[in-house]
Chain A
Amino acid sequence: MDTCAAEFGVDTPYLYSSYETESEAAPTDRRKVMILGSGPNRIGQGIEFDYCCVQACWALQDLGYETIMVNCNPETVSTDYDTSDRLYFEPLTLEDVLDIYEAEQPAGVIVQFGGQTPLNLTKPLQAAGVPIWGTAPDAIDLAEDRGRFGALLAELDIPQPANGIAANLAEARQIARQIGYPVLVRPSYVLGGRAMAICYDEAMLESYVAEAVAAAEGRGLLIDQYIEDAFEVDVDAVADGRQVIIGGVMQHIEEAGVHSGDSACVLPPYKISYYHLNTIHEYVRQLGLAPGVRGLMNVQFAIKDDIAYVLEVNPRASRTVPFVSKATGLSLARVAAQIMAGKTLAELGIDTEPKIDGFFVKEAVLPFKKLPGAINTLGPEMRSTGEVMGHAAHFGHAFAKAEMAAGTALPLEGAVLISVNDFDKGSASKIARDFHRMGFQLLATRGTARFLAHAGLPVQAVNKVSQGSPHVIDYVRRGELALIVNTPLGRDAYSDGVALRREAIRYNVPLLTTLSAASAAVAGIRALRQSELKVRSLQEHFGRGTLRTSALESRL
């Protein structure tokens, strides 16, 4: 990029390719590493990966390498002129990356800091003779290939949700029947949960398959057992081939099925048993060692009853790496980059999981208010455009801070509307009781109201929109609701609730679409009513020396 049309020479150029007669790249003969970013700016394009690329640049520069950043997102810090030594403003395609590789001749290429986009280039890059740093391409394939991955889990005796691959509707039907509904269906090899759907019955499956088989481009549909009412847990870890160190175990506040980029999560997990945590640790260790992960890995679990199912293993940076790093003070991306450059965890002095002081809650910042009319429910496709972190000694306070920072501060009084599906009514009555005890008025749609009244709670019944005015949306518009708990079920219920959710967003009324989020809100409100929030900067937090601060650079 050159705003002066080559009139002057520049010291920190943004290089880009064109089909012309000469190259202005002028590579040096230093030792160098190429880092692939995560692609152009769009919703679902995590700035989280940008963090990892920046950390990797700094770590490798400190080890004496020239860093070459390749990415085409002008909004990122990793593409600032002063982050990497050299910057190629290019799309993450094989042609462009190979052109740069040929021009620069780096010692290696790092594919695991930019999410799935650069990871998908691993095989063709390797085939072209490009050395891939970190986890070997075959190990990446082992984690990505469903068949090989399933075999590995079976060999390690680690449970995963029942699953299958269907080439057509008949096969899909048969597999879904075998597994049992609900099932999670998606085309194989899609990014970021796009085109994914939860099917609750055969009719839904049929209508989905009709659309999706074409989109699958003959590569088949993946069908997984959808584990309802499970806790979802995300683990970020770093491994060097000999050791696996867990950076953090995060518990999702929403149920499984919401994209990890959109879901609130808490570190450390506060509702997971010691037994499950031990199991998770052991599984992560085995999943890091067996394929020989070198660098970052992310493992997603769904915990239901006594089983911790492995949903997936990503041999790359995940969206939660910056959150874990900032909460623990151990920059996982930095450590991973050092490992890829040949260091071991032992050499880096990292032998135990970092300790966590208090609770850290990550909450997604959603753009619905700024994009009126956009789909506003959470699901497998990522919708958030940012994230915030709340930190406090107690979970309730940490959650309240995160909600406040995300733009929907929790109310301390007022009226709560509760409208939940039949499966949630039992648990909802406990949440309603807690709201009532804290002095909130209870409003509920008729079915829910009946259930709550039966439990002896004072509740005012309110019409659904279809039952005529005055209905729930009138209450939202009149500003009479302080908070809404609305858990739809199934695809139809989701669309029924669209108008309510749209108005809640428009009038900035906090809206909780899962019961786990609602109970977190109860904890948050309770904490806020008991004591005021305290504020402490991360610098102050880590300045006390209670944590491993060596990895927390002053420039962080």
Chain B
Amino acid sequence: MHAILALEDNTILHGERFGAKRTVVGEVVFNTSMTGYQEVITDPSYRGQIVTMTTPHIGNVGVNPEDVESDRPQVQALVVREISPTVSNWRAAESLPDYLARHGIPGISEVDTRALTRHIRERGALKAALSTNDMPAAELVALARAWEGLENRDTVREVTCAEPYTWQQGGLHQFQPNAHAPADAHPYHVVAYDFGLKHNILRRLVDHGCRVTVVPATTPAEEVLARAPDGVFLSNGPGDPAGLPYAAAAVKTLLASDLPIFGICLGHQLLGLALGGRTYKLKFGHHGGNQPVRDEATGRVEVTAQNHNYAVDPESLDPGRVHVTHWNLNDHTVEGLRLTDRPVFSVQYHPEASPGPHDADYLFARFVAMMQR
């Protein structure tokens, strides 16, 4: 069955359809992870985006109930070179096309994903429309062009939780990222802002000894402080941090307290904004599992999982108060911040991996150490 991916610059790619039969619009980006497509698809940070996997063969291990990063697939659509006709993994409960179809998400295969990746690399992330129900290419281009895009928009409201809840589940024992046993006591109470939270962040916090209360993105700082937490966590999430003035304001209020604060990805960008900095859009962002990051304090290079389109402008930060602790070695963008006068730090990348390397898991321990003091 035929499918079409049309880009705003009139690039038309024809392929085969899988998943749901419908037409969607979104921003087309590429992800370079060689494994972990299920985690990628269910990462809420991909809200509004059509994700192209650069790895040519996708779907071979199916989908299972444990490796989800949220309660549903979050991508607008999926673009792959080849969708595996068979599923071969003992943990698989469902095939990828069936899973996507069940959640109303379309996919396209048999397209030259390397050519598309090179196009995005040259042109930057593009608006696009994908149809698996026979909409003509010209109409798709028009749809893509008419779409409002992600800039200055609040996509977090589409993915955050409606009500606060507590989380107590750790990671699966056999997939712990290090040799240490997960914590058996959970003395630290962390309030986690859900801007589009990945479940594995919660699992890592639990395994490092935290009890977590997850609150909606719009929760005022006062309500968080009223819960008397030992620390506050600012989660990852989709879209443009500039579209979330309420969240930046809440972080600013929290900074006035002495509470340890740890931010990841969008949480890191919101911290930057709360500190008076600016954020800007990268050409095509970082989406993958092999981004090299150097820790300025130790000189150590970590290979990291990343998924973001925006970055904090280092020039906009007060050098007296904010230290850039980590840099990306590919394009020298800011990867980590630390306050000199408060137990507050953040990283642009994903220490919880899922999918990706576990090099940066020590950051959860660092957060816990701050709460110990």
List chain A positions with a Cβ less than 8 A from chain B.
4-9, 18, 20-22, 24
Task: Tell me the minimal C-beta distance from B350 to chain A in angstroms.
Answer: 17
Question: Among A7, A8, A20, which residue has its beta carbon within 8 angstroms of that of B115?
Answer: A20
Contact A5–B54 (Cβ < 8 Å): yes
CB distance from B288 to the nearest CB of A (A): 7
Q: Tell me how many residues of B have a C-beta within 8 Å of chain A.
A: 13
Taking a contact as CB atoms under 8 Å apart, the answer to whether B114 and A6 are in contact is yes
Contact B117 A5 (CB under 8 A): yes
Whether B178 is near chain A, meaning CB under 8 Å from some CB there, is no
Closest A residue by C-beta to B34: A5
Complex Cα spacing A5 to B56, Å: 10
B165-202: CB near A (< 8 Å → 1, else 0) gives: 00000000000000000000000000000000000000
**Beta-carbon contact of A9 and B121 below 8 Å:** yes
- Return chain A residues, CB-CB under 8 Å to B30: 5, 7
Question: Closest residue to A18 on the B side, CB-wise?
Answer: B114
Q: By DSSP majority rule, is chain B's interface helix, strand, loop, or mixed? A: mixed
- Alpha-carbon separation in the docked complex, A7 to B32 (Å): 8
Q: Mark B308-333, 1 if CB is under 8 A from A, else 0.
A: 00000000000000000000001000
**What A residues does B290 contact at CB under 8 A?**
4
State how many angstroms separate the Cβ of A18 from the closest Cβ of chain B: 8
- A21, B112: Cβ atoms closer than 8 Å: yes
A26 CB → nearest B CB, Å: 12
Q: Across the interface, do B112 and A6 meet the contact criterion of CB distance under 8 Å?
A: no
> Which chain B residue shows the least CB distance to A7?
B32
Look across to chain A and name the residue whose beta carbon is closest to the beta carbon of B55. A5
Look across to chain B and name the residue whose beta carbon is closest to the beta carbon of A19. Answer: B112
Most buried by B among A6, A18, A21: A6
Determine the main DSSP class of A at the interface with B.
loop
Bound CA–CA A5/B33 (angstroms)? 9
User: Which chain A residue lies CB-closest to B13?
Assistant: A21
Q: Kindly count the residue-residue contacts between A and B in the assembled complex, taking CB atoms under 8 Å apart.
A: 33
Cβ–Cβ contact B112 & A7, under 8 A: no
Closest-by-CB residue of A relative to B54 is A5
- B residues in contact with A24, CB < 8 Å: 118
Which residues of B288-303 are within 8 A (CB) of A? 288, 290
6 tightest A-B contacts by CB?
A: A5-B54, A21-B112, A5-B32, A6-B117, A20-B112, A22-B115
Which residues on the A side are within 8 Å of B114 (C-beta)?
Answer: 5-6, 18, 20
Specify the chain B residue showing the minimal Cβ separation from A24. Answer: B118
Bound together, the chains give a CA A21 to CA B330 distance in angstroms of: 28
Residues of B within 8 A of A6 (CB): 54, 114, 117-118, 121
Q: Name which residue of chain B comes closest to A9, CB basis.
A: B121
The smallest beta-carbon distance between A21 and chain B, in angstroms, is 4
CA distance A219 to B330 in the complex (A): 57
Q: How far is the CA of A20 from the CA of B111 in the complex (A)?
A: 9
| Residues in chain B near residue A20, CB distance under 8 A | 112, 114-115
- Nearest Cβ in chain A — how far from B30, in angstroms? 8
Which residue of chain B is the closest to A4 with respect to CB atoms? B32
Q: Digitize B25-61: 1 where CB-to-A-CB distance is under 8 Å, 0 elsewhere.
A: 0000010100000000000000000000011000000
Q: B111: nearest residue on chain A (CB-CB)?
A: A21
A107 to chain B, nearest CB (A): 30
CB distance from A221 to the nearest CB of B (A): 45
Which residues of the other chain, B, contact A7 by a CB distance below 8 angstroms?
30, 32, 54, 117, 121, 288
User: Which residue of chain A has the shortest Cβ distance to B53 in the bound complex?
Assistant: A5
Interface string of B82-114 (1 = CB under 8 A from A): 000000000000000000000000000000101
Q: How far is the CA of A18 from the CA of B113 in the complex (A)?
A: 12
Out of A8, A18, A22, name the residue touching B121 (CB < 8 Å). A8
CA gap between A8 and B115 in the complex, in Å: 13
Interface string of B111-140 (1 = CB under 8 A from A): 010110110010000000000000000000
Minimum Cβ distance to chain A for residue B331 (Å): 9
Give 15 A-B contacts (CB < 8 Å), ordered by A residue. Answer: A4-B32, A5-B30, A5-B32, A5-B55, A5-B114, A6-B114, A7-B32, A8-B121, A18-B114, A20-B114, A20-B115, A21-B115, A22-B112, A22-B118, A24-B118
Report the minimum CB–CB distance from A173 to chain B (whole Å): 54
Bound-state Cα–Cα, A24 to B114, Å: 10
Assembled-state Cα–Cα distance A6/B120 (Å): 10
